[in-house]
Structure 1
Amino acid sequence: MRVALCQITSTDDPQANLKEVEAGVRRAAAEGAAVALFPEATMACFGVPLGPLAEPLDGPWASAVRELAAAHGVLVVAGMFTPAPDGRVFNTLLVTGRDQHLGYDKIHLFDAFGFTESRTVAPGSTPVTVPVGGTVLGVATCYDVRFPGLFTALADRGAVAILLGASWGAGEGKREQWELLVRARALDSTCWLLACGQANPLASGLTPNPKAPTGIGYSTVADPTGRMHAQLGAEPDTLVVDIDLGLVDQTRKVIPVLVNRREPFRGS
């Protein structure tokens, strides 16, 4: 399977960001990719009021992405924000194209490093997988990568590759954590892990919001053994990779961690 990781820098303008999606989808299709993966918060960057920007999955922004996916015959995965019943928003990963149109609402919210995502974002509760040409893909978002159970749950649901959209916060040691966590979750689940992050705004000539996680770049692909397969730099770019799905079965025979799992020990 060929996948394009479209590392962009989102702004607070959903229409301008939609043009970035269009350009990325066109390039992905031209290079024969079946999937075009964009970052978390593709619709609009963090650090701005999200409520006024949120739209349902049948709203104008998601519908426009759906039309792009259909026109180019690819599955598009891109971060957006949808309304939540309690007045907050969901941090939603839109999955559209190839007879699919659904969203994954981020389960683990980024209440860490001085940022409180849960103040304005409601948590999701359901892992999501999607079939593409007989292959099952899982999806996850940013801070989810720190929680191994979601990734093994996706593997239990048949996923052989997991698509992760992110807008990673900058800071000391954060790039190293990003790379380590992507590789670890690939190894935990014995899946391919394709992690597309927001580019570093500085590399786009923009001033990042110091109070919001607006991206560091370094979109990363790790294979089922946890080895780094490919990686981008800090600036906006597109990474097109071919992933060997047969390597998943091979790895699971050699490292059968999913089969060997026991119930976790619980303290009294």
Structure 2
Amino acid sequence: MRIALSQITTGPDPEHNLTLLREEARRAADGDARVVVFPEAAMACFGTPLAPLAQPLDGPWATGVRRIAEETGLVVVAGMFTPAPAGKVANTLLATGPGVEAAYDKIHLFDAFGYAESDSVEPGSQIVTIEVDGARIGLATCYDVRFPELFRAHADAGARLSLLLASWGAGPGKREQWELLTRARALDATLWLAAVGQADPAASGIPVTSNAPTGIGRSAVVGPDGTVRQSLADGPGMLLADLDLDEVDSVRRTIPVLANRRLPSA
């Protein structure tokens, strides 16, 4: 399976960002990708008031993403915000395209490093996987990467690939943590992990004026043995990767950590 990771910097205007997604999806289609993955907050960047921008899954922004998928023939996965109770939003991943229609609401909210995502975002509770050309794929968002049980749940559901969409917060040691965590999640679930982040705004010439998690770039494709196969730097770019999903079976025979799991007694 050939996938495209589109490392972009989005702004506060959903329509402008949708235009950027269309341009990038066309690039991915020209590169013969089957799936194109955009970052978390592709609809609108963090640091923007989210509740006024949130739209339902049948609203104009999601409809625009579906139109992009139809125009290009790709499965498109992108982060958006949908309305939630009490004036909050859900941090939602929309996956749409030929034979695919699903949405995942981020389960683990980024209440860390002095930022409180839960002030404005309602957590999800459901594990979501999709199927593309007979391959099961799990969906995850940013801070989820710190919770290995989610990625093992993807594997238990039959996934050979997890897509991790992020807008990673900058700061001392955060790049190293991102690189360590993405490799660890691939290895302890023995699946492919494709992690796409927002490009570093500074690398796009955009000043950062808040402590909101606006991205550091460093998108990567990690093999089921935990090795980084391809990666990007901090600026905008597109990564095209060919994944041999059968490699998952080989690695799981060699490192059968899923089969060897035992629950410790109290």
User: So what's the TM-score if we normalise by structure 2?
Assistant: 0.98
Using the TM superposition, name which of 144-153 and 67-76 deviates more: 67-76
Are the equivalent residues in 1 in contact too, given 2:140–2:164 (CA < 8 A)?
yes
- The letter of the residue matching 1:191 is L
Taking the aligned partners of 1:55 and 1:264, their CA distance within structure 2 comes to 44
- Following TM superposition, by how much is the alpha carbon of 1:264 offset from its aligned partner in structure 2, in angstroms? 4.1
Paired position in structure 2 for 1:136: 136
Paired position in structure 2 for 1:49: 49
- Following TM superposition, by how much is the alpha carbon of 1:87 offset from its aligned partner in structure 2, in angstroms? 2.1
Q: What's the CA shift string for 1:192-245, capped at 9, x where partnerless?
A: 000000000001100113320000001011000000111001110000000111
- The letter of the residue matching 1:130 is I
Are the equivalent residues in 1 in contact too, given 2:8–2:39 (CA < 8 A)?
yes
Taking the aligned partners of 2:264 and 2:225, their CA distance within structure 1 comes to 23
- The letter of the residue matching 2:255 is I
- The letter of the residue matching 2:35 is V
Does residue 87 in structure 1 map to residue 87 in structure 2? yes
Does residue 221 in structure 1 map to residue 244 in structure 2? no
Are the equivalent residues in 1 in contact too, given 2:99–2:132 (CA < 8 A)?
no
Taking the aligned partners of 1:92 and 1:40, their CA distance within structure 2 comes to 8
Paired position in structure 2 for 1:202: 202
Are the equivalent residues in 2 in contact too, given 1:144–1:150 (CA < 8 A)?
yes
- Following TM superposition, by how much is the alpha carbon of 1:77 offset from its aligned partner in structure 2, in angstroms? 0.5
Taking the aligned partners of 1:70 and 1:15, their CA distance within structure 2 comes to 18
Does residue 153 in structure 1 map to residue 153 in structure 2? yes
Are the equivalent residues in 2 in contact too, given 1:5–1:240 (CA < 8 A)?
yes
Taking the aligned partners of 1:94 and 1:102, their CA distance within structure 2 comes to 6
Paired position in structure 1 for 2:27: 27
Are the equivalent residues in 1 in contact too, given 2:79–2:91 (CA < 8 A)?
yes
Does residue 171 in structure 1 map to residue 171 in structure 2? yes
- Following TM superposition, by how much is the alpha carbon of 1:263 offset from its aligned partner in structure 2, in angstroms? 1.2
Q: Check 1:174–1:265 CA distance in 2 against 1; reply closer, same or farther (3 A cut).
A: farther
- Following TM superposition, by how much is the alpha carbon of 1:153 offset from its aligned partner in structure 2, in angstroms? 0.3
- Following TM superposition, by how much is the alpha carbon of 1:265 offset from its aligned partner in structure 2, in angstroms? 5.0
Taking the aligned partners of 1:264 and 1:208, their CA distance within structure 2 comes to 46
Are the equivalent residues in 1 in contact too, given 2:102–2:130 (CA < 8 A)?
no
- The letter of the residue matching 1:41 is A
- Following TM superposition, by how much is the alpha carbon of 1:99 offset from its aligned partner in structure 2, in angstroms? 2.1
Stretches of structure 2 that go unaligned for 5 or more consecutive residues are none
Q: Check 1:264–1:68 CA distance in 2 against 1; reply closer, same or farther (3 A cut).
A: farther
SS at match of 2:136: strand
Aligned-residue CA RMSD in angstroms? 0.8
Structure 1's consecutive aligned runs of 4 or more residues displaced over 4 angstroms after TM superposition are: none
Taking the aligned partners of 1:93 and 1:243, their CA distance within structure 2 comes to 22
Taking the aligned partners of 2:97 and 2:264, their CA distance within structure 1 comes to 38
Taking the aligned partners of 1:208 and 1:30, their CA distance within structure 2 comes to 33
Tell me the matched-pair count: 266
Paired position in structure 2 for 1:107: 107
- Between the two proteins, what is the percent identity of the paired residues? 60
- Following TM superposition, by how much is the alpha carbon of 1:86 offset from its aligned partner in structure 2, in angstroms? 2.9
Taking the aligned partners of 1:188 and 1:25, their CA distance within structure 2 comes to 31
- The letter of the residue matching 1:140 is A
